[in-house]
Amino acid sequence: MEISKIRYTTLNELEKMPRFDLKAMPKKAKWYLQVLAWIIALPETFMTKVKIRKNGMDQLKGGYLLLCNHNSFFDFKIATKAVFPRRANYIVAVDGFINREKIMRNVGCIGKRKFVPDPSLIKQIKYSINELNSICMLYPEARYSLIGTTAILPESLGKMIKKFKFPVATLIAHGHHLHQPVWNLRKHRVKVEADMTYLLKPEEIERMSVKEINDKILCAFQYNDYEYQCKEKIKIKDIHRAENLHKPLYKCPHCLSEKHMKSKDTILYCDHCHQTYHLDEYSRLHNLNGQTKFSSIPEWFEWEREEVKKEIESGQYQIETKVYMDSLPNSSGFYRLGVGTLTHNMDGFVLKAVLDNTSFLLKKPVLTKYGVHIEYDYFGKGDCVSLSTINDTYYLFPLDQKIPITKYHFAVEELYIYEENKRNAK
């Protein structure tokens, strides 16, 4: 079944379907599949001439937790090269198992639904490290970085490390977003580097607080691919390099419209006020017919965050839209349930629908989600936001595709911080 193919089902049929097994313990990768993984990973890493700097890694012999930053699928190939010739267990979202669950499990993958608490995952990580004596790879940002900079990290990460005192290493790559940005997916042959560091020893963890552990991890996770590009003087000559840049840079800094940004070839423009920007070979932005408000993609992106934050602080934030509802109950693929109404406001997410004369309701209050998973033109079906329960994941595609899906990304994070600050102030 092609992932892009739309299959319809009813709520009654969906309820009878088996659910993805989130409790299955990880396996040590079959040797022949591990060889296949090396064969798949090594050619592209060779072509990019990746340089991996290892710091203190010779001290790590047994199982450990490897925390990696997340910018593209290329991350997995670099990680495979970085730990060569050792095998690893990989924590992968359920959609990564579609049509290939058996081979994914046999290569050592652990299934996870994004941004939903799952006690089984901690047991699986512990089993991987302590019982299989394996390297357990975790991508704590939980989704691709939208513009090649650090994404929010969960506070629970430090709590888990403090409790179990796993040896912790980090693998921070530079250039992966430039190689294949999530908003474009065209591959660019650029220089990539990675730093692999033994970050936390068990005896250090014993002495540290949870906050100190999280702070040290966050410090290690600081990266900015666009600063890296300028520093290393990396040119991207692809004449389509700006296409879909309007997905993350959805708001015009001149007229403040949120539904009129467009992009084509090397141009980013607003079709409301007609301000036009050129993206040069070093990914710097230049206004062609007026004042350059932002020359840096991350600066524009973070300005949008501040704009959403203002809406939240004034109590005015709200998006309500009709959405196509696709369910992912297991690795057999997506099933379209119909059309519902998705509301996101100061109280969090509410998804309502009447499907086959049956009412459907899913609520996600603000403090249950510190982040959210969004996709751009997901398998040709459009931009979407996904909401998970422990038994299902709903991919929600706005019927109005002009709605800036990136705004949900900012709003979920800023609402969580806003409510946490209110709670701590009491």
Q: State pLDDT tens for residues 357-385.
A: 999 999 999 999 999 999 999 999 999 99
For residue 289, count CB atoms less than 10 angstroms from its CB and return exposed for 0-12, middle for 13-18, buried for 19 or more. exposed
Phi/psi at 88 (nearest 5 deg)?
Answer: -145, 165
Q: Which domains are present in the chain?
A: 20-232 (3.40.1130), 261-312 (no CATH), 316-425 (2.30.29.30)
Per-residue CA distances from 378 to 166, 289, 350, 363, 373 (Å): 36, 33, 22, 23, 12
pLDDT in tens, the chain (426 residues): 578 789 999 999 999 999 999 999 999 988 777 777 776 766 666 667 789 999 999 999 899 999 999 998 888 888 988 998 898 999 999 999 999 999 999 999 999 999 999 999 999 999 999 999 999 999 999 999 999 999 999 999 999 999 999 999 999 999 999 999 999 989 988 999 999 999 999 999 999 999 999 999 999 999 999 999 999 999 999 999 999 999 999 999 999 999 999 999 999 999 999 999 999 999 999 999 999 999 999 999 999 999 999 999 999 999 999 999 999 999 999 999 999 999 999 999 999 999 989 999 999 999 999 999 999 999 999 999 999 999 999 999 999 999 999 999 999 999 999 999 988 887
The tokens describing 327, both together, are 């369910």
The tokens describing 224, both together, are 């900015």
Are 305 and 294 in contact, with CB atoms under 8 Å apart? Answer: no
The label of the residue with tokens 């934030």 reads 317
What CA–CA distance (Å, rounded) separates 121 from 124?
5
CB atoms within 10 A of CB 67: 24
Chain-centroid distance, C-alpha 195:
20
The label of the residue with tokens 């309007």 reads 246
3-state secondary structure of 394: strand
The tokens describing 147, both together, are 């513009």
What CA–CA distance (Å, rounded) separates 197 from 312?
38
Per-residue CA distances from 204 to 197, 217, 228, 407 (Å): 15, 13, 31, 39
3-state secondary structure of 317: coil
Are 413 and 371 in contact, with CB atoms under 8 Å apart? Answer: yes
Are 347 and 37 in contact, with CB atoms under 8 Å apart? Answer: no
Q: Which pLDDT score is estimated for 41?
A: 66
Full-model pTM? 0.95
Q: Which pLDDT score is estimated for 72?
A: 85
The label of the residue with tokens 């990746």 reads 50
Closest CA to 390 of 26, 120, 155, 24: 120
